[in-house]
Amino acid sequence: MKLIINKNQINENPEQFLRRAGYGFIQDRRSGNESFVRRLTRDFYPRLHMYVDKKDTEVIFNLHLDQKQASYAGAHMHNAEYDGEIVEREIERLKILINSAADKISSGNIKQEDVFDKVGDGSLEKSKNVKEKISWFKKIFG
């Protein structure tokens, strides 16, 4: 799912904005592609995966949900969702953060606490599409 904004809507470069939004920078060792990820659990997958494309006057955030890593040798593709509840909720969270940044630029008096009251802590772990892992101990002994 894509989110297209005007560069003037955020008061920093897109990379800094994404870091503030909880994303970490990664670079694919094979292709050299740069992107950002946000973990949904303590494990590497599932995770939100974001590519950023900067044009003249706009920034395009291209977001999808990586469910798992490629499961066979030589595979470059993985199981990804480009829409769905989790992706839509994350796009809405980013829109709120972007609007808060725009308000901060125009008024200069919005506090970080006010933003988090609107957005929440950003946790998507409780979403019904993310399965909780069961430890091997619980699988064996209940």
Res 88: pLDDT: 95
Residue 38 belongs to domain spanning = 2-135
Angle 112-119/85-107 helices, nearest 10 degrees?
Answer: 150
Please indicate, yes or no, if residue 142 is contained in any of the structural domains.
Answer: no
Q: Does residue 41 belong to any structural domain of this protein?
A: yes
Q: Can you give the pLDDT at residue 130?
A: 58
Q: Per residue in 52-91, pLDDT tens?
A: 999 999 999 999 999 887 666 555 556 788 899 999 999 9
Provide the CB-side half-sphere exposure for 125 (13 A, CA).
8
Structural domain count, the chain: 1
Percent of the chain whose pLDDT exceeds 70: 72
**Tokens read off for 44:** 């590497």
Q: Give domain status of residue 83, yes or no.
A: yes
**Tens digit of each residue's pLDDT (9 = 90 or more) over 109-139:** 545 455 445 545 555 555 555 566 788 888 8
Tokens 């839509």: give the residue: 88
* Predicted local confidence at residue 110, as pLDDT: 45
This prediction has a pTM of 0.68
Q: Are 28 and 35 in contact (CB under 8 A)?
A: yes
Specify if 141 maps to a domain: no
The pLDDT assigned to 126 comes to 53
Question: Is 85 domain-assigned?
Answer: yes
What's residue 116's pLDDT?
Answer: 47
